[in-house]
Amino acid sequence: MARDTAFSDNDGLTWSAPREVRFDNPRALGNNFNDKETLTADPGDPDFVYATWQRIVSPSEVSSGAAFENAITFFSDTWFARSTDGGETWEPAHSIFHPGQFNQTIGNQIEVLPNGTLINGFNRIQNLSNRRGQRGFNVEIMRSTDKGETWSAPVHVSRLGVDEVADPEIAHPCPGDRESDGTCAVRTGDIIPDFAVDRRSNQATRGNLYAVWMDTRFNDSDHNDILLSRSTNGGTSWSAPVKVDHAPAGVDAFTATVDVDASGRVAVSYYDFRNDVKGDIPLSTDFWVAHSEDGGLTFPAADENRLTLESFDMRTAPFALGYFVGDYTGLSHFGSRFDSLWVGANDGNEENRTDVFHQNAQ
């Protein structure tokens, strides 16, 4: 499996030929899988580009079933590669964090602080308890003060206490296998955190880091909110999480993305089912953006905006291990304007089940 990149130096009008970042030959290296890659251009130095992903290492496909359960080769490292010439060439990719036997990382993503420090954020999945007893999902980050040459040990942000999202009504038909509790799954970005940094100059919140993820701790044990934690010291310590969304208790909010505009305002986008009516045909789904004017301390209801002009029916989305409109959304800014990107279902149009939407997210 190969990981390639391409670059454009004319605002996307044309693109270079692909540049190979990493290639795993399954015949030579076994059953390895490179997944969930992200790419970050250094805002402070256009020559530097960073790629990171998880590389899953597991036994060969011809191994016995017991080998898959017990082999020490089952793990998932964080891998990293760097370009110092704007993506023209890439230095050799390599592992920067090995979480241990049977453990893995997922959702690796690099942000660049105003002083040039790199932050790689991810979900650290501990299938076996570590010294801190943090079995399960954990939002963590690593720091590099030399543009990726060396990396710190992981810094713990918070537990990621997510529960899988499901169709709230089991009476409706399910296009695939139901879960063990009889529900029909909705596939989301449930174990993927997202990160952003305040890059303003000469402001009190310059360099603030923000992390968002799905979590049940402020809801019931079966439904998720969107939580946010912030760091004001370059990622070395993090605040207690706060709830971002305003979905009522017992309703899932899911697939969060965060960004910070040029004035320091924090925005978080997400889906939820708050407008669904129990017993009707559609699973009414909407996409929202919430804003914070105080550096992520609070997200008032008055500053939450609905971006979908009307709800779409999640039950008409493609079914791939669950109703699925994608587990990634986009949130960016230009000056003090936020721009959001998301996917919605087209309510039964079998020729075109989903579309991608872009909207100003003020």
Question: What CATH number corresponds to the domain at position 98?
Answer: 2.120.10.10
pLDDT attached to residue 29: 54
Number of domains within the chain: 1
- Tell me how far CA of residue 250 lies from CA of 220, 223, 308, in angstroms: 6, 6, 21
213 secondary structure, DSSP code: E
Structure tokens at 356: 């991608």
pLDDT attached to residue 67: 47
pLDDT attached to residue 3: 65
pLDDT digits (tens, 9 = 90+) for 233-272: 999 999 999 999 999 999 999 999 999 999 999 999 999 9
Does residue 55 belong to any structural domain of this protein?
yes
CA atoms of 160 and 138, how far apart (whole Å): 5
- Tell me how far CA of residue 132 lies from CA of 128, 154, 156, 302, 347, in angstroms: 11, 12, 10, 39, 47
Does residue 11 belong to any structural domain of this protein?
no
CA atoms of 153 and 271, how far apart (whole Å): 33
Mean pLDDT is highest, among 8-12, 201-205, 223-227, for 223-227
Other Cβ atoms closer than 10 A to 4 = 13
In this model, does residue 191 exceed pLDDT 60? yes
SS3 68: helix
Does residue 68 belong to any structural domain of this protein?
yes
Mean pLDDT of 107-135: 84
Does residue 32 belong to any structural domain of this protein?
yes
Nearest Cα to Cα of residue 197 among 136, 83, 119: 119
Does residue 297 belong to any structural domain of this protein?
yes
pLDDT digits (tens, 9 = 90+) for 311-357: 999 999 999 999 999 988 999 999 989 999 999 999 878 889 999 99
Name the residue with higher pLDDT: 56 or 255.
Answer: 255
pLDDT attached to residue 127: 77
SS3 85: coil
Structure tokens at 263: 């004035």
Structure tokens at 358: 């872009």
152 secondary structure, DSSP code: P
Domain that holds residue 241: 23-360
In this model, does residue 160 exceed pLDDT 60? yes
Does residue 12 belong to any structural domain of this protein?
no
pLDDT attached to residue 65: 47
Does residue 3 belong to any structural domain of this protein?
no
Does residue 354 belong to any structural domain of this protein?
yes
CA atoms of 247 and 308, how far apart (whole Å): 15
pLDDT attached to residue 68: 44
